[in-house]
């Protein structure tokens, strides 16, 4: 049986409010040594995600970044998968959509985050599993039965 992501993802998810400043978001990322921040609105509903690379790119391109809030630069909608999703299906999702993270849902609630770094750790810890993941059939992605949802 193929490995599921339920033991790989980070469960203590740090998040930020959409109205927070980019400096606040950057401080959270630096203080917790993370690269992705789920973004919530006033009702605590997931509305987007902010990555460290998005922030750095904006800071580099526009010196006026201090006036921006998280909602101005976050990525939305967000890709969410079930905690029962297979590792290979998440890898396919990363490749096809050029993602570096997905959020994990359990019983319709945010349960965690899985990043490309988490998948690389798996391969580094278990190199014998590499053969299992070498052939990703991207054409069959839609027929594989993985769960994906988007939130606005």
In angstroms, the CA 97 to CA 112 distance is 19
In angstroms, the CA 80 to CA 60 distance is 29
Reading the block at residue 134, the tokens are: 């070498």
pLDDT in tens, 30-76: 999 999 999 988 888 888 999 988 777 666 555 555 677 889 889 88
In angstroms, the CA 124 to CA 48 distance is 30
DSSP string, 88-147: HHHHHHHHHHT-SEEEEEETTEEEEEEEHHHHHHHHHH-GGGHHHHS---GGGGGGS---
Count of H-run helices and E-run strands, the chain: 6, 7
In angstroms, the CA 60 to CA 1 distance is 46
CATH of the domain at 42: 3.10.580.10
pLDDT above 90 covers what percent of the chain? 20
pLDDT in tens, 87-125: 889 888 888 888 889 998 877 678 899 998 888 887 777
pLDDT of residue 152: 42
pTM, two decimals, is: 0.71
pLDDT of residue 123: 74
pLDDT of residue 38: 93
Q: Give the pLDDT mean for 126-152.
A: 49
What residues contact residue 125 under an 8 Å CB cut-off, 6+ apart?
none
Q: Is pLDDT at 20 greater than 90 in this prediction?
A: yes
Q: Is pLDDT at 149 greater than 70 in this prediction?
A: no
DSSP state, residue 37: E
Reading the block at residue 107, the tokens are: 């019983």
Confidence class for position 77, pLDDT limits 50, 70, 90: confident
Structural domain containing residue 21: 5-151
Q: How many independent structural domains does the chain possess?
A: 1
For the chain, the average pLDDT equals: 78
């Amino acid at each position: 049986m193929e490995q599921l992501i339920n033991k790989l993802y980070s469960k203590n998810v740090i998040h930020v409010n959409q109205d927070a400043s980019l400096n606040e978001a950057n401080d959270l990322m630096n203080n917790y040594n993370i690269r992705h921040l789920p973004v919530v609105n006033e009702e605590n509903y997931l509305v987007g995600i902010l990555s460290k690379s998005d922030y750095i790119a904006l800071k580099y391109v526009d010196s006026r970044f201090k006036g921006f809030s998280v909602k101005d630069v976050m990525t939305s909608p967000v890709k969410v998968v079930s905690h029962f999703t297979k590792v290979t299906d998440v890898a396919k999702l990363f490749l096809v959509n050029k993602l570096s993270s997905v959020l994990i849902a359990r019983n319709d609630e945010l349960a965690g985050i899985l990043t490309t770094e988490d998948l690389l750790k798996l391969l580094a810890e278990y190199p014998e599993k590499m053969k299992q993941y070498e052939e990703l059939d991207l054409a069959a992605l839609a027929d594989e039965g993985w769960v994906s949802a988007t939130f606005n």
